[in-house]
């Protein structure tokens, strides 16, 4: 009876994990998804505890308390720091998998070598390699995203880098193979594999530029998931196998979506040293830009029928979403049709703009995906670009030498008038000039996004000589 209850618990938990991922597909159901995930995890932990006949409860209670002590402050971080927070979670997941695999190996070894079957050994080796490389790789990724001083942001490359990295991984795999074949005689290789995996995690990340880290993090997510699958085989726990597989595949799918939206291949992200390409490609356009005042821009906007707002990373940095909501309210009150054009990789993490705009209670039906808004861009009287740069750069469509060539963009250049809010002429993520800013019908509104949108709102609410 007890075993049936446990299996039922695992089944419900698996179903809830699947629903959680499914509901994450839409902002309307995302909140439900979070609760489903929490419920699934709670049921999983309870069922596992019921099944394991634990007597030393103080260890479990201590671990849960420790989890709370670390986890609660982690949840207080600002939204712009979510990518590095996610990387830290993966680091913990990888470390946990690696440590469980290590503990199981030495435990089984002490209980008798007959426990170390080739199947179990293979699962343990996969678990520790993936677990420990995810640990150091994710720590490096978090460090790069947090811009920690002693971790270089730019890609660090050297001769024969890829060959030596792959060589290192190959040595770890060969050691793993030897220990699978002769676990007792080759025990001394176990710590060697751990060290090689830890080093490999660091070396895997250093050639990748800081800005590519979000994609790398979702790839590391899939490694953490796969190490959890291996852990499931080691511990003979079916739920870990399914949950790990869900984690692994969703991480992989997300990285594929991100690569597609940037028109980059996996190999280009992992081995392309993107930050270096940027430096070479930065041939400055020696043209001048036109500027406009917030009042001037507001006057054009209030006479428009359709205004499309393109938010980008700068809106997140400035935390301007609530001002943007006020602007939306004011324009809508004046009968202007306002829509938001959402690029899949605007910002620094998938769904970044959706989350910010949802936080400011912008109606979901006003958020239009890139493919749906682009055909309407020629009809837009005004496009207001708020801290977006690469995702509206027309060079992606025609300049074969551009590092973003082929990346789908929002056609802001096709609107009748374009106002672009940013603080300077500095480039965005890809490190290149944006020809949109130099176009005849583009006017720059220089300044911090929150301040400039605030000025626009002030005009509409009558504060700056406006109506
Ligand atoms: P972007 O190209 O990085 O440009 C952001 C712009 O915001 C900058 O030009 C910056 O100019 C401006 N800015 C920064 N702080 C600001 C502030 N406080 N007020 C006003 N403007 C500010 O951003 P994007 O157009 O959103 O494009 C995203 C890029 O990230 C793409 O290249 C994409 O491939 C990449 N990426 C995205 C993801 C993802 O999942 N979303 C993942 C990996 C990579 P100033 O400094 O002059 O103000």
Token pair for residue 357?
């705009």
pLDDT at 284 over 80: no
CA distances from 251 to 225, 256, 286 (A): 8, 9, 42
Span of 99-103, 145-149, 423-427, 438-442 with lowest mean pLDDT: 145-149
Residue to mutate (ligand 1; options 389, 420, 434, 456; most atoms within 8 A of CB): 389
The better pLDDT of the pair 349, 89 is held by: 89
pTM: 0.79
Calpha distance 182→186 (Å, rounded): 6
Query: How far out from the chain centre does Cα 397 lie?
Result: 25
Position with higher pLDDT, 327 vs 235 = 327
> In the Cβ-directed half-sphere of 256, how many Cα atoms lie within 13 Å?
7
Assign residue 431 a region: left if phi > 0, alpha if psi is -120 to 50, beta otherwise? left
Residue 51 has pLDDT above 50, yes or no: yes
Q: What is the pLDDT of residues 57-100, one digit of tens each?
A: 888 889 889 999 998 998 898 877 888 888 999 999 999 999 99
DSSP conformation class of 291: B
pLDDT band at 279; cut points 50, 70, 90: very low
- Relative to beta strand 337-342, strand 367-369 is parallel
Distance in Å, CA 268 to ligand 1 centroid: 20
Tokens of 132: 């420990």
**How would residue 211 be classed by pLDDT, with cut points 50, 70 and 90?**
low
Q: What confidence score (pLDDT) does residue 101 get?
A: 95
Within 10 Å of residue 117's Cβ, how many Cβ atoms?
A: 13
Banded pLDDT at 430 (limits 50, 70, 90):
confident
- Mutational test site, ligand 1, from 314, 321, 411, 449, max ligand atoms within 8 Å of CB: 314
Nearest residue (CA) to ligand 1, atom 48: 423
The phi and psi torsions of 195 (rounded to 5 degrees) equal -65, -45
Task: Give me the pLDDT at residue 280, please.
Answer: 46
Question: Taking phi first (over 0 means left), then psi (-120 to 50 degrees means alpha), and beta for anything else, what does residue 329 get?
Answer: alpha
Residue 114's contacts (CB-CB under 8 Å, 6 or more residues apart) are none
The pairs formed by 391-395 with CB atoms below 8 angstroms and a separation of 24 or more are 391/310, 391/312, 391/343, 391/345, 391/346, 392/310, 392/312, 392/420, 392/434, 392/436, 393/430, 393/432, 393/434, 393/435, 393/436, 394/435, 394/436, 394/439, 395/432, 395/434, 395/435
pLDDT in tens, 402-415: 878 888 899 999 99
pLDDT 10s digits, 376-393: 999 999 999 999 999 999
Q: Which residue, by CA, sits nearest to atom 15 of ligand 1?
A: 314
Of 298, 267, 284, 319, residue with least CA distance to 466:
298
Q: How far is the CA of 272 from the centre of ligand 1 (A)?
A: 20
> In this structure, are residues 142 and 135 in contact, taking their beta carbons and an 8 Å threshold?
no
Using alpha carbons only, how large is the chain's radius of gyration in Å?
26
Q: What is the pLDDT of residue 307?
A: 97
Cβ atoms 261, 345 nearer than 8 A: yes
DSSP structure string for 90-140? HHHHHHHHHHHHHHHHHHHHHH-GGG--HHHHHHHHHHHHHHHHHHHHHHH
The C-alpha angle with vertex 404 and arms to 401 and 409, in degrees rounded to 5, equals 130
Residues of the chain with pLDDT > 70, as a percent, come to 95
Q: For ligand 1, is residue 102 a contact (CB within 6 Å)?
A: no
Tell me which residues are annotated as active site: 390
Which ligand 1 atom lies nearest to the CA of residue 391?
A: 25
The whole-number average pLDDT for the span 109-124 is 94
Q: What is the mean pLDDT of the chain?
A: 89
Neighbours of 305 (CB within 10 A): 11
């Amino acid at each position: 009876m007890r075993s049936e209850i446990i299996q039922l618990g695992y089944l419900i938990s698996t179903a809830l994990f699947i629903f959680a991922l499914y509901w994450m597909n839409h902002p309307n159901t995302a909140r439900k998804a979070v609760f489903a995930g929490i419920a699934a995890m709670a049921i999983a932990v309870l069922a596992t505890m019921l099944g394991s006949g634990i007597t030393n409860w103080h260890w479990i209670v201590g671990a849960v308390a420790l989890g709370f002590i670390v986890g609660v402050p982690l949840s207080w971080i600002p939204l712009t720091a979510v990518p590095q927070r996610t990387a830290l979670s993966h680091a913990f997941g990888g470390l946990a998998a690696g440590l469980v695999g290590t503990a199981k190996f030495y435990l089984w070894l002490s209980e008798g070598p007959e426990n170390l079957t080739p199947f179990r050994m293979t699962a343990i080796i996969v678990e520790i390699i993936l677990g420990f490389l995810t640990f150091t790789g994710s720590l490096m990724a978090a460090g790069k995203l947090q811009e920690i001083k002693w971790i270089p942001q730019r890609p660090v490359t050297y001769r024969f880098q890829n060959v030596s990295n792959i060589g290192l991984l190959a040595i770890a795999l060969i050691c793993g193979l030897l220990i699978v074949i002769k676990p007792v005689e080759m025990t001394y290789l176990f710590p060697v594999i751990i060290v090689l995996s830890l080093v490999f995690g660091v070396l895997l990340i250093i050639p990748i530029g800081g800005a590519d880290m979000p994609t790398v993090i979702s790839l590391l997510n899939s490694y953490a998931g796969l190490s959890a699958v291996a852990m499931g085989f080691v511990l003979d726990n079916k739920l870990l196998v399914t949950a790990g597989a869900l984690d692994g595949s969703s991480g992989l799918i997300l990285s594929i979506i991100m690569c597609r939206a940037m028109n980059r291949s996996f190999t280009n992200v992992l081995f392309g040293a993107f930050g270096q390409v940027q430096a070479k490609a930065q041939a400055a356009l020696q043209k001048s830009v036109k500027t406009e005042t917030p009042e001037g821009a507001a006057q054009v906007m209030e006479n428009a029928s359709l205004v499309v707002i393109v938010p980008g990373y700068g809106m997140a940095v400035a935390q301007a979403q609530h001002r943007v909501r006020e602007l939306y309210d004011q324009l809508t009150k004046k009968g202007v049709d306002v829509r938001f054009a959402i690029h899949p990789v605007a910002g620094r993490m998938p769904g970044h703009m959706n989350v910010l705009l949802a936080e400011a209670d912008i109606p979901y039906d006003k958020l239009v995906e890139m493919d749906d808004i682009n055909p309407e861009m020629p009809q837009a009287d005004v496009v207001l670009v708020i801290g977006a740069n690469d995702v509206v750069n027309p060079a992606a469509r025609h300049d074969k030498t551009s590092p973003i060539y082929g990346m789908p963009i929002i056609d802001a250049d096709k609107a009748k008038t374009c106002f672009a809010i940013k603080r300077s002429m500095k480039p965005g993520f890809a490190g290149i000039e944006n020809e949109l800013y130099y176009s005849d019908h583009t006017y720059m509104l220089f300044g911090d996004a929150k301040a400039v949108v605030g000025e626009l709102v002030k005009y509409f609410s009558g504060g700056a000589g406006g109506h």
